[in-house]
Amino acid sequence: MKNYLIITDSAADINVTLIDKYNIKVIPLLFTLEDKNYELTPKENEGFISEVYSKLREGKVITTSQATPTKFINYFEKFLNERLDIIYLAFSSALSGTYQSACIAKEELKEKYQDRKIIVIDTLCASLGQGLMVIEAAKIKESGASIEEVEDFVINNRLKLVHYFTVDDLMFLKRGGRLSASSAFIGTMVQLKPILHVSNEGKLVPIGKVLGRKNSIKTIVNRIKAQNIDWENKQLFISHGDCFEDIQYVLECLNKENINPKEIIINTIGAVIGAHSGPGTIALFYLGNERG
């Protein structure tokens, strides 16, 4: 069996410990803050993320850009030249053009590296939903699976990856074009909080709205409980927009509803996703039976 690497991008929000444990390669995606461009490695992101959220709370705007085909070509070639096959698990194509750029790069590289496998998959996932899929793929690889078996696993399971989000400040969704200015203003005035998920098409879509922060968290937990998941062998990944106190409330709600996963992984949402979701975002992810 040929050697191969699993590659993802920084939208996956995976922490450094897991990246190192499973030898995952991460392509840094570009964001711009105060006229300065950043392409941070996961380690650099962990050191800078508090500053990012501080700037967002001050009203600074972060813009993001998809990775170009040239960036992918240069990144992939480092490993192809080492005679490694690669499988890239991309941020949802419905939320970014990054996947399309990777596909263009793949087509350009195929002729030059005819003896290598280059697989590019649209995970249709975001944040730690994407991260969870990458980690599950890495576990399959670690067990001895071929690159084709990893590919099959991701394709067969990506629409079982459940994403539930709520945000604290609707204005960030408005900036990203996911909510009208009037809806964002009215919702903010009455403390209306949206419940969102990532659809089968990989889009971030609203599925409900409730009054108050704690009610939004309880609603997400109740939705999880309603799916009757056997948590004994399941992981729950939680990402958040620099709101550690709210994470404690999430854990209390899970415990109250007797939702006891085998493992809970928590990480801060990076700048690429956080620029659009904002401080105070709470997101829960797990492999279920369907996205719901």
Hey, is 146 helix, strand or coil? coil
pLDDT in tens, 75-98: 999 999 999 999 999 999 999 999
On the question of pLDDT at 216 being above 50, the answer is: yes
pLDDT in tens, 221-277: 999 999 888 899 999 999 999 999 999 999 999 999 999 999 999 999 999 999 888
**What pLDDT does residue 205 have?**
84
**What pLDDT does residue 191 have?**
65
**What pLDDT does residue 171 have?**
66
- Which residues neighbour 64 within 8 Å (Cβ) at sequence distance 6 or greater? 29, 30, 31, 32, 96, 271, 272, 275, 276
- 279 and 168 in contact (C-beta within 8 Å)? yes
Q: Look-up: residue for tokens 């903010």?
A: 188
pLDDT in tens, 173-202: 555 544 444 343 333 434 688 898 999 999
**What pLDDT does residue 228 have?**
84
On the question of pLDDT at 128 being above 80, the answer is: yes
